[in-house]
Structure 1
Amino acid sequence: MSFETSDIASLHADLVGKNPRTILKTALALFDNIAVSFSGAEDVVLVDMAHKIRPDIAVFTLDTGRLHPETYRLIEAVRERYPSLRLEVLFPDCQALWQMVKDKGLFSFYKDGHHECCGIRKVAPLRRKLETLDAWVTGQRRDQNQTRQELAEVEIDAAFSGPERRLVKFNPLANWSSSQVWDYIEAHDVPLNELHRRGYVSIGCEPCTRPILPNQHEREGRWWWEDAGKKECGLHAGNVKG
């Protein structure tokens, strides 16, 4: 299915302010070739919701090679909890990764910024996957970061679309708060990353993630050595306004 900007504007007008399940049902009704991306608590909430609508929904997650052991255990917990899912684990290109580590070592991001490492470990494998899809579903929320405050419920993906192909991105949790996410997790006994019980809120790669302190924003535990306006890894680069 091909969507133009005018189509998305009309669809967004219908979905703005709607609850996540309504947005998901619409997404799955419109697209067969669609997948849910998951890594954190928000994403597994969406997996749980989507599974109840379409039990064999396609789901993918990124293994960067630098994840916490608890994150790998979460992936397997999701696989066991929802056996009908079509769950795919994506990996970085080994040659590109080898070259970066050979040239710069394992912790170059502390000096150079995280974008080169994330580009190889996350963005490139995601791009390869998204080239095979018509639409995808993310767990982004507006209140997660200053770069996400204008997040739409549905949009043309600015980072991964091109002149010949429009990729549609659904953000069903755009209107939800962190407390709503956790209320759902507790009510539905959704699998979670054990790191959440130890003060980790937004969880990425092990070297780039740390627990937050009381009253800190949830994204302050990610790439804490960089400015808040840079805290997108490239997966959602369209959020960052030039």
Structure 2
Amino acid sequence: MDEKLTYNHWGDHVHKRLNNELKDFMDVLKWAYRLYQDKIVYACSFGAEGIVLIDLIYKVNPTATVVFLDTDLHFRETYSLIERMKQKYPKLHIKMTEPALTLNQQTEKYGDKLWEHNPNLCCQIRKTKPLEQELSHVDAWISGLRREQSMSRKNTNYVNKDHRFKRVKICPLIHWTWDDVWEYITLNNLPYNELHDKSYPSIGCEMCTLPVTNQENFRSGRWANFEKKECGLHQA
């Protein structure tokens, strides 16, 4: 399983074989860091899944790079959590990646509160483009996607060919349930975003995230007033 594996150097047979041979989340992470070494990053939003993955990654590669897309619009609770995680995992390289435009520059160019009248463009400027820049330096990235999260994620595999960013996308937690995530956090006494205790299962930017009333839809609080379910990072 250790042959060269980049977006442009694999076919369907490699994809099928890998996803059959990789047995569980730790197997996936060990394989990923052995193969890609410093050519892989974890793009983390510091939600509950993110906390679990950071803890698991630290066991495999304590000096791994974790990228946080700092839109300047996150909840204060999210920024506070990141500082606590930096203290808990001191060897980890947590990189705060900012968009090319400041909020003031975005307002000057596109008008005030872009997220209210064109959230897709706002996400493109403040999340998609910055991640695209980060991924231009690596061959693969790790994501905390779980199949249970939404219908659009139910076919996610451990190893995926990411057509959006032309990279290999690795998702170790695809088979985990929400209960699995919280059992791990509780058993290991991990810090987490206190907004999870206030009916926020999925936490993004403060302006575009509401508490969830429908417990069967983890992402129903994201862009609740729009026909929008993803920020653009996880398109097929």
Asked if Structure 1 and Structure 2 have the same fold, meaning a TM-score greater than 0.5 normalized by the shorter chain, the answer is: yes
2:62 to 39, 52, 55: 55
Question: Residues 214 and 220 of structure 2 are in contact (CA less than 8 Å); yes or no, is this contact kept in structure 1?
Answer: no
Q: Show CA shifts across 1:161-205 (max 9, x none).
A: 1xxxxx211000111111111111111112211111111110000
Aligned-partner Cα distance in 1 for 2:188–2:156: 26
Is 1:217 equivalent to 2:217 in the alignment?
Answer: yes
| Distance change >3 Å, CA 214–CA 146, structure 1 → 2 | closer
State the SS of the aligned residue for 1:189. Answer: coil
Counterparts of 1:55-74 in structure 2 under 5 Å? 55-74=62-81
2:44 to 38, 44, 52: 38
1:233 to 221, 231, 236: 231
2:16 to 9, 13, 16: 9
Is 1:76 equivalent to 2:86 in the alignment?
Answer: no
What's the CA shift for 1:98?
4.3
TM-score normalised according to structure 1 size: 0.88
What's the CA shift for 1:99?
4.6
5+ residue gaps, structure 2? none
Question: Residues 115 and 207 of structure 2 are in contact (CA less than 8 Å); yes or no, is this contact kept in structure 1?
Answer: no
**Counterpart of 2:146 in structure 1: which amino acid?**
R
Question: Residues 110 and 225 of structure 1 are in contact (CA less than 8 Å); yes or no, is this contact kept in structure 2?
Answer: no
In structure 2, the residue matched to 1:90 is 97
**Counterpart of 2:171 in structure 1: which amino acid?**
N
5+ residue gaps, structure 1? 162-166
Aligned-partner Cα distance in 2 for 1:98–1:14: 49
Counterparts of 1:83-232 in structure 2 under 5 Å? 83-94=90-101, 98-112=104-118, 114-161=119-166, 167-213=167-213, 215-227=215-227, 230-232=228-230
Aligned-partner Cα distance in 2 for 1:13–1:110: 43
**Counterpart of 2:124 in structure 1: which amino acid?**
G
Number of corresponding residues = 227
**Greater share of residues in helix:** 1
Question: Residues 71 and 127 of structure 2 are in contact (CA less than 8 Å); yes or no, is this contact kept in structure 1?
Answer: yes
**Counterpart of 1:235 in structure 2: which amino acid?**
L
| Distance change >3 Å, CA 120–CA 44, structure 1 → 2 | same
| Distance change >3 Å, CA 86–CA 216, structure 1 → 2 | same
Aligned-partner Cα distance in 2 for 1:59–1:108: 27
Aligned-partner Cα distance in 2 for 1:10–1:124: 32
Range with greater deviation from structure 2 (61-70 or 98-107): 98-107
Greater than 4 Å deviation, 4+ residue runs: none
| Distance change >3 Å, CA 41–CA 157, structure 1 → 2 | same
Range with greater deviation from structure 2 (192-201 or 210-219): 210-219
What's the CA shift for 1:134?
1.3
TM-score normalised according to structure 2 size: 0.90
What's the CA shift for 1:19?
2.3
Aligned-partner Cα distance in 2 for 1:134–1:38: 17
Aligned-partner Cα distance in 2 for 1:108–1:38: 24
What's the CA shift for 1:208?
0.3
RMSD of aligned residue pairs (Cα, Å): 1.6
What's the CA shift for 1:25?
1.3
Aligned-partner Cα distance in 2 for 1:198–1:22: 34
Question: Residues 35 and 137 of structure 1 are in contact (CA less than 8 Å); yes or no, is this contact kept in structure 2?
Answer: yes
